[in-house]
Amino acid sequence: MSHVFPRHCHATLPTAVAGDGCYLIDTQGKRYFDASGGAAVSCLGHSDETIKNAIKDQVDQLAFAHTGFFTSEPAEALADLLIANAPEGIDRVYFVSGGSEAVEAAIKLARQYFLEVGQTERRHLIARRQSYHGNTLGALAAGGNAWRRAQFDPLLIGVSHIAPCYEYAEREEGESLADYGQRAADELEAEILRLGPETVMGFIAEPVVGATLGAVPAVEGYFARIREICDRYGVLLILDEVMCGMGRTGHLFACEGEGVRPDIVTIAKGLGAGYQPVGAMLCSGAIYDAIAKGTGFFQHGHTYIGHPVATAAGLAVVRQMLERDLPARVRALAPLMERALRDRLGQHEHLGDIRGRGLFWGVELVADRGTKAPFDPSRKLAGRIKTEAMARGLICYPMPGTRDGRNGDHVLLAPPFIMEDDEAALIADRLGDAI
């Protein structure tokens, strides 16, 4: 019997005992190619000596010093490196232990900022349907899947949800891509006006949607219009890059590839690359200064923020990313992934869509290729593909179709950046066999 609190019934899962490059290995010695990177976490694979040594060295030198009393060298160095490579205008970093914490901190920072500048009614957040921002109560409130939130109602903050920018599922017949992008973004303006601009603190979105829709980039022009609308009404733009950030889309910060500048940006998964739990919330100097000049400190904190070992791992990861120019490697691998997926699955009678950026790809499966009607959810297709893929030595991240019946089951692919060129075909073949 497993005493681990059950998630997907732990007792039936294989036990992972080792990692080797892109592979995880179980107690039977079976090797699994990690094409999901644990959901966009393991960007450097599972046995990077540089990261492991950085962690060991840091534990030897200093394991913990509470941030109420000390700062630490790795936390300072990681903050400097992130800011040196961050989007324009972003120049402060707040470290946390994971994605939900980063989003939680972002929401509270936005709220406190408006209190500091005397706009006390700005407490409403706008997010998008079909989005995931984490599982703590604030982050859960931001998430766009009503079924996830329902059982925990009432949630702690007011959030309303507009449509995601997903042209394949939401574009009207005959509508141009450009018109569609503007129409989708204009939903934000309509919602701000409906609520009253003086009550809205922020809009949160992923530059490339991950966990709910499977690697969906927005239409060109969408985020430029979103930025314009946020500026017009003084609403903070929070970009959640917990999944799509840290090189995953071919840019250290995904928003740079998408051409949009955030006021607040969250990162996590790829920052620790699986070696340590670490995330960060980064913000503009203007936000930081308002708080510094006001009450003087951000009313937030966790015991493990800025942990020396976690930030030492993050520092080693970002250094590797930059020294080896891994975002460029991701950009080079992107067309190979796309070609391999299209060659193997492009003609499949149940293919709904293949889309993505960098090493962040989604494969959608539908019952009817013509109408794009999804499979009946009771068939649990995504979960079955995961099981079949694991039997074939492939880890891919399954996501059931959205409950509004608009989107089919998905498989998310987010392999390590250290994969070889020909491993794109290995992923596509094993996935194709599983499907």
Residues making contact with ligand PMP (CB under 6 A): 39, 98-100, 103, 132-134, 206, 210-211, 240, 242-243, 268
Q: Minimum distance between the CB of residue 390 and ligand PMP, rounded to whole angstroms?
A: 20
Choose between 209 and 336: whose C-beta lies nearer to ligand PMP. 209
Q: Minimum distance between the CB of residue 7 and ligand PMP, rounded to whole angstroms?
A: 12
Q: What is the DSSP letter of 404?
A: T
Choose between 167 and 206: whose C-beta lies nearer to ligand PMP. 206
Question: Other C-beta atoms within 10 Å of 377: how many?
Answer: 15
Asked whether the beta carbons of 46 and 24 are under 8 A apart, the reply is yes
Q: Minimum distance between the CB of residue 195 and ligand PMP, rounded to whole angstroms?
A: 23
Choose between 313 and 428: whose C-beta lies nearer to ligand PMP. 313
Q: Minimum distance between the CB of residue 110 and ligand PMP, rounded to whole angstroms?
A: 16
Q: What are the tokens at 176?
A: 């141009």
Closest residue to ligand PMP: CB criterion: 99
- 3-class state of residue 300 by DSSP: coil
Q: Minimum distance between the CB of residue 217 and ligand PMP, rounded to whole angstroms?
A: 14
Q: What is the DSSP letter of 160?
A: E
- Which has the closest alpha carbon to 202: 138, 145, 280, 246? 138
Choose between 166 and 375: whose C-beta lies nearer to ligand PMP. 166
- Distance, in Å, from the CA atom of 96 to the CA atom of 51, rounded to the nearest integer, reads 19
Overall residue count recorded for the chain in this entry = 435
- Distance, in Å, from the CA atom of 56 to the CA atom of 172, rounded to the nearest integer, reads 55
Residues 6 or more apart whose CB falls under 8 angstroms from that of 409 comprise 364, 365, 374, 375, 381, 382, 385, 398, 399, 400, 401
Residues facing 33 on adjacent strands: 23, 394
- Which has the closest alpha carbon to 211: 131, 297, 104, 291? 131
Q: Minimum distance between the CB of residue 428 and ligand PMP, rounded to whole angstroms?
A: 24
Q: Minimum distance between the CB of residue 382 and ligand PMP, rounded to whole angstroms?
A: 15
Choose between 210 and 250: whose C-beta lies nearer to ligand PMP. 210
Choose between 221 and 272: whose C-beta lies nearer to ligand PMP. 272
Q: Minimum distance between the CB of residue 212 and ligand PMP, rounded to whole angstroms?
A: 8
Residues facing 99 on adjacent strands: none
Choose between 116 and 206: whose C-beta lies nearer to ligand PMP. 206
Choose between 41 and 428: whose C-beta lies nearer to ligand PMP. 41
- 3-class state of residue 356 by DSSP: strand
Please state whether the peptide bond connecting residue 6 to the residue before it is cis, i.e. omega within 30 degrees of 0. Answer: no
Q: Minimum distance between the CB of residue 174 and ligand PMP, rounded to whole angstroms?
A: 32
Asked whether the beta carbons of 392 and 384 are under 8 A apart, the reply is no
φ, ψ dihedrals at 88, nearest 5° = -50, 135
Choose between 243 and 336: whose C-beta lies nearer to ligand PMP. 243
